[in-house]
Structure 1
Amino acid sequence: MIRLRKALGVETLPLLVMLALVVVVFALATPRFLTAANLGSMAVQLPVLGLLTLAMLVPILSGGLNLAIIYQANLSGLTLAWVLLSFGGSEAGFGAFVLGTVAAIAVGALSGLIMGLVVAYIGAHPILVSLAMMIFLRGLGEFMTRGGDISGFPDYMRVIGHGDVLGVPVPLLIFLGAALLWHVMLKRTRHGFSVYMVGSNIDAAEYSGLHTKRTLTLIYTISGVICAIAGILMAARFNSVRVGHGEALLLVTVLACFLGGIDPFGGFGKVLPVVLALMILQALSSGLNLLGANQHLSTAVWGLFLIGVMALRWVAQQWNSRRRREI
């Protein structure tokens, strides 16, 4: 058991147990929970939230926050839609989609770059900077679309939003690929090391010779890129884009990060526990939905679940402290 805890990490094993309990409870409560249809639905719904959570994760690790993720994603999706419309909308060729994807990622990266530069070189607080960017992007999107949506994309985009490879949904593959890339970036690269150092103590990191300003700028730029990918996925999944898509997901991404053990003050956290936290939240939502519960009840349960997890972690810390004193 001790070896298993060391291999998985302090945060991972409890989340695996929680996930198993949630699955067992809902499997007993409704026979439809473990059906292929429901599992497939969960696999398609999870990736958008997952990508947005990854976009939130690294700024939190650095001791900051990115409140603009939803609107970065939506404006990137709108950019893709405008490019496709200029090439004939539903009749646009694949080349137009490639061009639109590049433009969408550029928009996401640019918005993140601006935030990163302001945070790094002006020293403004990330909450204020990202809040300002959120308001700007929302207003810009509302102005350019007049509050409406854009729809009617080429049929080949359905493969991205609803296709599968060997039975595994394409959106899930995109999310898992991004999560693996995030894990490697944080654990195996100099930038990942700098993220943790900046989140732990930015002054000490700077005295150690790390280029903290460049690290902060890159953090928010990469966050913008992953938001753009989420926006493209939303456009493919819903066959429409508008500036307000997924507004309710903002706080859920923060919830998933904290449930996955990311330190709200920065400097500590891993990708795998966050992925497990997302799976727990999705299982709770799907299970309650199958039982006929209101969506608002699911949100309330998510909040209670986080409170319960924090309480359990406190109990575990007290227990470990007592054992150390006894030894």
Structure 2
Amino acid sequence: MKKNSKERILLIVFALVFIALSFLSPDKFLTVTNIRSMAFQLPEFGILTLAMMVPILTGGINLSLVTTATLGGVVSATVMASLYKQNWNETLIIMIAVLTSVAASVLCGIINGYVVSYIGAAAMMATLGTSTLFEGIGLYISKGNSISGFPAAFYWIGNGTVCGVPVPMIVFGLVAGVTWLLLEKTAWGQSVYMVGCNRKAASFSGLNVNRIMMKVYMYSGFLGSLAMLIMMSRYNSARVDYGSSYLMQAVAASVLGGTMITGGYGKVGGVVIAVAILQIISSGFNIFGLDRNLTTVINGVILIGVLTLNFLNEYRKSR
């Protein structure tokens, strides 16, 4: 199978699933309310998936992605609630909150990047360890409670619309576009693919692999902070456990989208389509009254199935 055919197959799968759900329940699935609901839910999942995709392209993974995002959110929410109580200007509060969230999450990304690249720890073990660290810090700051008390204007980020289009969807579109440009049209993006294909060869060719990996985890942390800001706005609060279910879903969507778990190949378009497929499947479960926990089971089956197919495909090629 040609690698560029993966995206076409995903488009066909998306169309079939969408048509099937539209046929089975047109009075519920095709309603404005349901489409609108999916449009507000998909962006945070999609941004986290793109944040997971980039480390996977290098042959690594970021198991601290969600705790990186939530720690940034908890720090940001604490600052925002404190300044709001002091009657600061709402616009200024939101600007400071956004910068604080991004700074905290990118700092977590720097820690991940340093441990993985300069210390040389395996990405899975390194990010598993930092995940526990970031979660502990978040619990210490929040005392395990929800943090709320935000300016009313902050609610617009996760719940507002522009010309009828949800703001989170606009943010997701911008993030997907920027990520595509970085990976496909910049020297850094090409170096990310090279590191994923063969790290030693990339190093011998003169690339600064450590610097590349550092930027990978910084960018992953940055995207995580954006997803958490949307979640904070939608829920009007912040908690350490927000988004915990998205971790394995992000891995599943990345792999389903055609990203090789061993690194070296992956397309933003494929990942975006995979996210949409999983989102409408989740919506279908909700419409038909099925247990939402089955979504996790389906994601697990999809992940195992895609990994198996990829393995069999590579094995066939090697023979």
TM-score of Structure 1 vs Structure 2, range by shorter chain: over 0.9
The equivalent of 1:106 in structure 2 is 103
Contact 1:163–1:170 (Cα < 8 Å) also in 2: yes
Contact 2:75–2:141 (Cα < 8 Å) also in 1: no
Contact 1:89–1:154 (Cα < 8 Å) also in 2: no
Structure 1: gaps of 5 or more residues: 1-5, 323-327
Contact 1:75–1:231 (Cα < 8 Å) also in 2: no
- Structure 1 position 161 matched with structure 2 position 167: no
* Residue identity in the other structure for 2:61: L
The equivalent of 1:40 in structure 2 is 36
- Structure 1 position 279 matched with structure 2 position 279: no
1:90 to 1:75, Cα distance in 2 relative to 1, 3 A: farther
What is the SS of the residue equivalent to 2:238? strand
The equivalent of 1:3 in structure 2 is none
What CA deviation, in whole Å up to 9, does each residue of 1:102-160 have, x standing for no partner?
11111111110111112111111111111111000111111121111101211111211
The equivalent of 1:22 in structure 2 is 17
Give the CA deviation at 1:87. 1.1
The equivalent of 2:81 in structure 1 is 85
Give the CA deviation at 1:311. 6.6
> TM-score w.r.t. structure 1 length?
0.91
Q: Supply the distance in 1 between the matched residues of 2:56 and 2:85 (Cα, whole angstroms).
A: 38
Contact 1:53–1:254 (Cα < 8 Å) also in 2: yes
Give the CA deviation at 1:303. 2.9
Give the CA deviation at 1:88. 2.2
What CA deviation, in whole Å up to 9, does each residue of 1:298-326 have, x standing for no partner?
2222333445556777898899999xxxx
Q: Supply the distance in 2 between the matched residues of 1:37 and 1:128 (Cα, whole angstroms).
A: 42
Contact 1:90–1:154 (Cα < 8 Å) also in 2: no
Q: Give the aligned length.
A: 317
* More deviation, 268-277/302-311: 302-311
Q: Supply the distance in 1 between the matched residues of 2:151 and 2:2 (Cα, whole angstroms).
A: 46
Q: Supply the distance in 2 between the matched residues of 1:103 and 1:46 (Cα, whole angstroms).
A: 24
What CA deviation, in whole Å up to 9, does each residue of 1:281-309 have, x standing for no partner?
00000011100001012222233344555
2:58 to 52, 58, 62: 62
* More deviation, 41-50/306-315: 306-315
- Structure 1 position 204 matched with structure 2 position 195: no
* More deviation, 6-15/258-267: 6-15
* More deviation, 131-140/303-312: 303-312
- Structure 1 position 295 matched with structure 2 position 296: no
What CA deviation, in whole Å up to 9, does each residue of 1:221-240 have, x standing for no partner?
11111111111111111101
2:115 to 106, 115, 118: 118
1:174 to 171, 175, 186: 171
- Give runs of aligned pairs for residues 210-221 of structure 1, distance below 5 A: 210-221=207-218
Contact 2:84–2:149 (Cα < 8 Å) also in 1: no
What is the SS of the residue equivalent to 2:59? coil
Q: Supply the distance in 1 between the matched residues of 2:123 and 2:317 (Cα, whole angstroms).
A: 35
Q: Supply the distance in 1 between the matched residues of 2:111 and 2:168 (Cα, whole angstroms).
A: 28
Q: Supply the distance in 2 between the matched residues of 1:257 and 1:84 (Cα, whole angstroms).
A: 33
Give the CA deviation at 1:60. 0.4
What CA deviation, in whole Å up to 9, does each residue of 1:208-262 have, x standing for no partner?
0111111011111111111111111111111010111111110000000110011
What is the SS of the residue equivalent to 2:263? coil
The equivalent of 2:237 in structure 1 is 240
RMSD: 2.3
- Give runs of aligned pairs for residues 222-237 of structure 1, distance below 5 A: 222-237=219-234
The equivalent of 1:127 in structure 2 is 124
1:195 to 1:285, Cα distance in 2 relative to 1, 3 A: same
What is the SS of the residue equivalent to 1:304? helix
Q: Supply the distance in 2 between the matched residues of 1:313 and 1:123 (Cα, whole angstroms).
A: 27
- Structure 1 position 270 matched with structure 2 position 267: yes
What CA deviation, in whole Å up to 9, does each residue of 1:143-193 have, x standing for no partner?
121111101211111211111111111001101110111111000001101
Identity of aligned residues (%): 40
1:294 to 1:169, Cα distance in 2 relative to 1, 3 A: same
The equivalent of 2:4 in structure 1 is 9
Structure 1 stretches of 4+ moved >4 Å: 89-92, 306-322
2:249 to 244, 249, 252: 252
